[in-house]
């Protein structure tokens, strides 16, 4: 079997690594012409993401970038510490939470793929694909084509592949918040090694962590109207800083100090999600990662969910008796979990989870489990661990009838 992967970001590179471990050949087709990336946003990779990385032997490569997070402290707008809680499994360096830039994670995974001899082709902007009984052909903007048995759409929230698997899918939905990201070496906020601080401000939610090198990584979530592309591109970091500071200064926290000390390394984006994607797949195409199930960033699980996808897909193709059965297995195992994450993340923003998405999750529960038989939280953790464990075969569910 040969698989074409559209997109060389986190989901696509992780899928290539997991498939390679399963003995399945894959080629990554990335639209960008080189490895270059701006400073970009950062993310927190949770223990489930690190566990997924370990299954295809990439946890050590990722642990070489970013830094560990072992505790989280929550502070109210008056400066009172509400709680301090542990994060992850501190005794295991490869299961600790990790703070790193999104571009760093993607680059580390691509580099590991290249090191293992996996083909990564740059400058391949996907245009369309055609399926037939024998396989699928991808067409790129430069006029070239590629042929494979299966095509994975790992091309993010604005996926071009999704327009083929689900032409009626709703466009990404603004989730009601603007998210600011910044970096500074000129702030000295209260910090401890390995701690992320969450500040519950009166008008903005903020989080920050200080790297071992003394650089403060921070984000702020602010309710407001959706920003246009012209506003995002045409507003300078200084203007965004001046816009954000009046919202932070009334609070007795380090938020205003951190933002005031931030120079040009400041950016803003709209928090968006996919309210639902009815069809993840056709006979020879499948969506993974944000292309299928993008959540707003409130839960901080986007990257970890994509890494889980990679493991479960590779195991499904390894263990199921046919490609059709593998795709069915993958979807039945992944849909309930990732769509619950979308609902949870939507509830943490200013808008409630859309009714359509709640119905989608309820319908999948009805299809995949009997009423009253849902797992407890501890059982759900055990089920996830079993699904991710590379040595544990996946159960192949009964066909859904689709």
pLDDT digits (tens, 9 = 90+) for 130-158: 999 999 999 999 999 999 999 999 999 99
Write down the pLDDT at residue 96.
Answer: 87
Write down the pLDDT at residue 378.
Answer: 57
CA torsion, points 328, 329, 333, 338, in degrees to nearest 10? -40
CA dist 272 and 297 (Å) reads 8
Percent of the chain with pLDDT over 70: 90
pLDDT digits (tens, 9 = 90+) for 42-89: 999 999 999 999 999 999 999 999 999 999 999 999 999 999 999 987
The tokens for 184 are 């500074």
**Residue 113 backbone class (left: φ over 0; alpha: ψ -120 to 50; beta: rest):** alpha
CA dist 132 and 283 (Å) reads 9
Query: Which SS3 state, helix, strand or coil, does residue 231 take?
Result: helix
The tokens for 356 are 């359509």
- Can you tell me the mean pLDDT for 113-133? 97
CA dist 169 and 164 (Å) reads 10
Query: Which SS3 state, helix, strand or coil, does residue 129 take?
Result: strand
Q: In this structure, is the dihedral angle defined by the CA atoms of residues 50, 218, 102 and 164, taken in order, positive or negative? A: positive
- Can you tell me the mean pLDDT for 325-332? 96
Say if CB 171 and CB 270 are below 8 A apart: no
Q: Which residues contact 381 (CB under 8 A, 6 or more apart)?
A: none
């Amino acid at each position: 079997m040969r698989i074409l992967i559209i997109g060389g970001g986190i989901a696509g590179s992780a899928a290539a690594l997991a498939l390679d471990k399963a003995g399945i050949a894959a080629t990554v087709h990335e639209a960008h012409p080189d490895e270059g990336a701006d400073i970009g946003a950062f993310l927190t990779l949770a223990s489930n993401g690190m566990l997924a990385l370990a299954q295809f032997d990439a946890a050590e490569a990722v642990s070489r970038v970013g830094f560990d997070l072992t505790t989280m402290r929550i502070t109210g707008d008056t400066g009172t510490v509400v709680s301090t809680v542990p994060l992850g499994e501190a005794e295991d360096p490869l299961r600790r939470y990790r703070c790193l830039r999104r571009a760093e994670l993607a680059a580390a995974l691509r580099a590991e793929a290249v090191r293992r001899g996996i083909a990564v082709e740059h400058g391949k902007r996907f245009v369309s694909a055609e399926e037939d009984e024998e396989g699928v052909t991808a067409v790129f903007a430069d006029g070239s084509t590629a042929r494979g048995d299966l095509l994975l759409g790992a091309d993010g929230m604005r996926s071009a592949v999704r327009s083929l698997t689900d032409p009626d899918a709703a466009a990404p939905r603004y989730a009601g918040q603007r998210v600011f990201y910044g970096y500074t070496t000129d702030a000295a906020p209260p910090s401890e090694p390995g701690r992320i601080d969450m500040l519950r401000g009166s008008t903005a939610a903020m989080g920050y962590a200080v790297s071992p090198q003394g650089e403060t990584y921070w984000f702020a979530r602010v309710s407001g109207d959706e920003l246009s592309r012209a506003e995002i591109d045409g507003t300078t970091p200084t203007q965004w800083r001046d816009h954000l500071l009046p919202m932070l200064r009334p609070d007795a926290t380090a938020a205003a100090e951190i933002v005031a000390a931030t120079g040009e390394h400041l950016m803003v984006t709209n928090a968006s999600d996919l309210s639902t994607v009815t069809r993840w797949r056709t006979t020879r195409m499948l969506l993974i990662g944000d292309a299928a199930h993008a959540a707003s960033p409130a839960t901080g699980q986007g990257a970890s969910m994509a890494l889980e996808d990679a493991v479960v897909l590779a195991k499904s193709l390894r263990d199921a008796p046919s490609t059709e059965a593998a795709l069915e297995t993958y979807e039945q195992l992944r849909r309930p979990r990732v769509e619950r994450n979308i609902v949870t993340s939507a509830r943490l923003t200013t808008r409630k989870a859309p009714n359509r998405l709640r119905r989608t999750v309820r319908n999948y529960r009805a299809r995949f489990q009997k009423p009253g038989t849902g797992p407890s939280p501890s059982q759900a953790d055990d089920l996830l661990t079993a699904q991710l464990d590379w040595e544990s075969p996946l159960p192949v569910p009964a066909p859904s009838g689709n």
